[in-house]
Amino acid sequence: MFATKLKTLRLTAKMNQSDLAEILHVERSTVSRWESGTSMPAVSMIERIAEVFDVRIDYLMGKEVVVETAKIPVIGKVQAGLPVEAVEEILAYEYIPAEMAESGEFFGLMVKGDSMSPRMIEGDTVIVRRQSDIRSGDVAVVLVGNEDATVKKVIKHEDGITLIAFNPAYPPRFFTLREVINTPVEILGKVVELRGKF
């Protein structure tokens, strides 16, 4: 199994045996023996090979770990009065570990604008656990009145809450407790993961 994995990785990387031997500081014949299955490298060398090809040692040894996943929708916007499950604008799907999915309800939201840059940029996706309350200091998806949902850091005070953008060009927005109720300002969920796009 190791021999086949090594040869496949080498060919995919468009290397010949001499190229790989030079990187690993071994003879070409040594790489040839590994790929033919007539010898095996030491554990330290297997670790080095895994680093070169940016794979896990388990993968090289044929012990692939299967992670159960769940599919969640990525939406472009959330508007006031419209529950997430009613949104028809599904842009894509993301996969999260099944263990995570079992811990609550999740959805993805595509970041728009630059208010959360440089940490989050337009086109990134945030993975959100649906919940109506969060701890002070958490990053959350928030609905403010009739605006689309926004991603902001939420700071709680005795007399209200402040929504803070990461981009200093956007001033913090403070809402009194009365404004939270009347506007309203609604927490849709906590951001638990950021997935950047290139």
What pLDDT was estimated at residue 84?
57
CATH number for the region 69-195 comes to: 2.10.109.10
Domain segments of the chain as ranges: 2-60, 69-195
Catalytic residue among 5, 7, 115, 190: 115
Q: Name the amino acid, one letter, at 127.
A: I
Q: Is 152 a catalytic residue?
A: yes
CATH no. for 2-60:
1.10.260.40
And the tokens for 86? 């009613």
* Packing angle, helices 43-53 and 2-12, rounded to 10: 30
**Band (179; pLDDT cuts 50, 70, 90):** very high
Q: Which of 152, 153, 156, 197 is catalytic?
A: 152
Structure tokens that stand for 94 in this block: 């993301």
Domains 2-60 and 69-195 share a fold: no
- Kindly compute the dihedral angle of the four CA atoms of residues 54, 119, 90, 104, in this order, to the nearest 10 degrees: 80
- The reply to whether 115 belongs to the active site is yes
**Confidence (pLDDT) at 72:** 92
CB count in 10 Å sphere of residue 95: 12
What is the model's pLDDT at position 62?
A: 77
pLDDT for 66 equals 57
Burial, 50: exposed, middle or buried (Cβ in 10 Å; 0-12, 13-18, 19+)?
middle
Greater confidence, 174 or 145?
A: 174
pLDDT tens per residue, range 29-45? 999 999 999 999 998 99
